[in-house]
Amino acid sequence: MPDETKDGQNRDREEKPSGPNMAGDVGALLTGLKTTLSQAFKPVVTTMYPEDKTPRSERYRGRHYLRRYDNGLERCIGCELCAAACPVGCILVIAAENTEENRVSPGERYAKTYEINMLRCIFCGYCEDACPVQAIVLGPEYELSDTSREKFIYTKEKLLEPLPPDVQARLTSKEKK
């Protein structure tokens, strides 16, 4: 019966350290050199950013936009579902009532204040999914750097799409009269 050590292991099963294995070391070295040389002769794939930009997928979620209808009215009806769906609480919506004199959106209410803290936003897209009128969308823009933290609080004016050209032309002609 083989001798047992204090921890109950057999001494005969213990492996003795072997000396340096020259063939194994040379094989490992050659494998590494093969990898290095195969990469050295491949073409360089460097994008010269910002002149050249890499394409984004269709489903990429970047900067937020508040959309308008074709007649120029805002889509946002101030329901605050986007703020409720946001997991980090970066959206603030304060609703107000539409009047006949001041019609901002087609519904009874509109978003008087709409702010997104882009520093807290994780670009998950839950606000976009929760919106019943598809007012908030995440666009393809990803260059969002700025110089101060205050500039990362996007207000309604910064988020709104510009007016359609025909609506803008009508408004400017009314102002001239």
**pLDDT the model gives residue 175:** 72
Mean pLDDT taken over the chain:
87
**pLDDT the model gives residue 158:** 94
Rounded Cα gap, residues 48 and 121, in angstroms = 28
**pLDDT the model gives residue 168:** 75
Peptide bond into 2 cis (omega under 30): no
Rounded Cα gap, residues 72 and 174, in angstroms = 15
Q: Is the whole model's pTM more than 0.95, yes or no?
A: no
Q: Residue 93: beta bridge partners?
A: 114
Whether 69 has a pLDDT exceeding 80, the answer reads yes
Compute the 3-state secondary structure of the chain and give helix, strand, coil in percent, each to the nearest 5: 30, 15, 55
The secondary structure of residue 152, as a DSSP letter, is G
Domains within the chain, CATH numbers bracketed:
64-162 (3.30.70.3270)
Whether 74 has a pLDDT exceeding 90, the answer reads yes
Rounded Cα gap, residues 30 and 49, in angstroms = 36
